[in-house]
Amino acid sequence: MKRCWETVTVVADRRTDLGFVIPVAVFAMTLRVPGGFILLGVTGAILILRRGVRFRRTGLLGAYAVCALTSTLAATIDADHNVSSYVWPALCYGLFAAAVLLTGDVADNMRGLSRGLIAALTCALGLAIAEIATGFRLMALGREANQNLQLALNEGRFRTGSVFTNYNDLSVALTVLVVLLAGAALFAPRDSTMVKASRLVIIVVASGLVVVMGSRGSLAGLLLGLGTLVLLASRAARPDRLTNGRLGAVVASSLVVVVLIWNSPYVQDNSTAIRERILDNAVHLMDLDPMTWVLGFSSVDRYDGIAASFFAETLMNPHNLVLELLLGYGLPGVLAATLAWCVLVARGVSVTKPRDWQLPAYTAAAVMLPVIGTVPSSTLPYGFPQLLTLGLAAALASAEGLGAAAPGPESVDHDNDADPHDGTSDQSEHPRLDDRAGHP
């Protein structure tokens, strides 16, 4: 009787679990529903209160804590309390990350995040195609007086924005979509023919649109992400040939190519010069108030006001993810975020036999963040850095919980009779890619 009652309780708990709100919140945030990041924070708080917390070590939450602390101190010192404060995004994304990583089943949470993100990006692609076909621009509706926005959305028939403010920002979103779906295509081979065909169509259309619209930063990020996936897939197939050491040599040698491309006329043009001038001007503003190097500018409004007073009629949006973090959270925030990113990427790349497509997909997406982070005027409001690093952290936590990720060839136990769920089964000859995360 007691066992029966426990079973009923477990079933009831599962039916009343609020995990379904994760994809809904991510979908709304990615499609830029007003107050999207606040919805993420509310979702995180509700899940934490409903489920309780299982403490696990994760540097990502530590990075959010540092950013929240520096921005809070900046707001307090400057007496700058407004809705554009950098405190609120840090708190909301931190709460959502805590809910995904520390409550419930991490694998289920990760699946919800992936479904919401991919569904929203696919909808954005559909809207973009509709805009190209009709010539109508959704973001221009009700903003006829904003001449800059009108120009940005009407630079050409194929240069559209969908739910984003210009074709560059849309290209970043499509790049993320392509890399995630390409990861699923390479590491989830057991999907149905219909799913594979649908995924391939989306990949071709989205990547083609990135090329046609001509966003160079997005195209570079796309090539980097796809190249990373190819390397990870090659090593998963033959880990004895492409070891971590050899993979490091490939990455090091590719840096030479990156330097050559960076110094080529294709990259070094007026757009690059503008970004360099913004960086120089922002550093000058921070030198005028050294405390901003430690705590940041406390709010977007405060930074915009100071920038306008010194550099009137000059473009001062960051156009650089690192600079954006520096302006909002100071050097401590930049260092914490960079350290968390480096650790997550290194751990993701070191997995030789991923059993879930999301681990290599989010690894590749995180690798390209420094590149695509130079494309939009401001990247953090779109949530791509936060959601992609969270997806990678959740994928790693899920793999460790399943005992399914092998951090290197030396960690694989070649006992064919071992339990396949205890992390010791032999995967060297019969790798099984677990696509239980569902179809993207």
Question: What would the 3-class secondary structure string for the chain be?
Answer: CHHHHHHHHHHHHHHHCCCCHHHHHHHHHHCCCCCHHHHHHHHHHHHHHHHCCCCCCCHHHHHHHHHHHHHHHHHHHCCCCCCCECHHHHHHHHHHHHHHHHCCCHHHHHHHHHHHHHHHHHHHHHHHHHHHHHCCCHHHCCCCCCHHHHHHHCCECCECCCCCCCHHHHHHHHHHHHHHHHHHHHHCCCCCHHHHHHHHHHHHHHHHHHHHHCCHHHHHHHHHHHHHHHHHHHHHHCCCCCCHHHHHHHHHHHHHHHHHHHCCCCCCCHHHHHHHHHHHHHHHHHHHCCHHHHHCCCEHHHHHHHHHHHCCCCCCCCCCHHHHHHHHHHHHHHHHHHHHHHHHHHHHHHCCCCCECHHHHHHHHHHCHHHHCCCCCCCHHHCHHHHHHHHHHHHHHHHHHHCCCCCCHHHCCCCCCCCCCCCCCCCCCCCCCECCCCCC
Please indicate, yes or no, if residue 46 is contained in any of the structural domains. yes
**In this predicted structure, what is the pLDDT of residue 71?**
93
| Chain centre distance of CA 111 | 15
Give yes or no for a contact between 236 and 353, defined as CB atoms under 8 angstroms apart. yes
End-to-end CA, the chain: 41
Please indicate, yes or no, if residue 347 is contained in any of the structural domains. yes
Please indicate, yes or no, if residue 290 is contained in any of the structural domains. yes
Give yes or no for a contact between 394 and 315, defined as CB atoms under 8 angstroms apart. no
* Residue whose token pair is 């989205």: 206
Ramachandran bin of 141, using left for φ above 0, alpha for ψ from -120 to 50, beta for the remaining angles: beta
Please indicate, yes or no, if residue 335 is contained in any of the structural domains. yes
Distances (CA, A) of 264 to 170, 245, 333: 25, 30, 32
**In this predicted structure, what is the pLDDT of residue 65?**
94
Give yes or no for a contact between 112 and 22, defined as CB atoms under 8 angstroms apart. yes
**In this predicted structure, what is the pLDDT of residue 221?**
92
**In this predicted structure, what is the pLDDT of residue 161?**
86
Give pLDDT tens digits along the chain (440 positions): 445 444 434 444 455 678 899 999 999 999 999 999 999 999 999 999 999 988 877 889 999 999 999 999 999 988 888 888 999 999 999 999 999 999 999 999 999 999 999 999 999 999 999 999 988 887 777 666 666 776 767 777 788 888 998 899 999 999 999 999 999 999 987 888 899 999 999 999 999 999 999 888 899 999 999 999 998 998 888 877 777 677 777 777 777 776 666 666 666 666 788 888 999 999 999 999 999 999 999 999 999 999 999 998 888 999 999 999 999 999 999 999 999 999 999 999 988 889 889 999 999 999 999 999 999 999 999 999 999 999 999 999 998 875 333 343 333 333 333 343 333 333 333 333 444 444 56
Report the C-alpha gap between 198 and 73 in whole angstroms. 49
Give yes or no for a contact between 327 and 296, defined as CB atoms under 8 angstroms apart. yes
Instruction: Identify the domain containing residue 193 by its residue range.
Output: 2-411
> What's the one-letter identity of residue 334?
V
Report the C-alpha gap between 432 and 406 in whole angstroms. 12
pTM of the model: 0.85
Please indicate, yes or no, if residue 433 is contained in any of the structural domains. no
Please indicate, yes or no, if residue 428 is contained in any of the structural domains. no
Please indicate, yes or no, if residue 426 is contained in any of the structural domains. no
Number of domains in the chain: 1
Closest CA to 189 of 355, 389, 369, 419: 355
Report the C-alpha gap between 48 and 44 in whole angstroms. 6
Please indicate, yes or no, if residue 133 is contained in any of the structural domains. yes
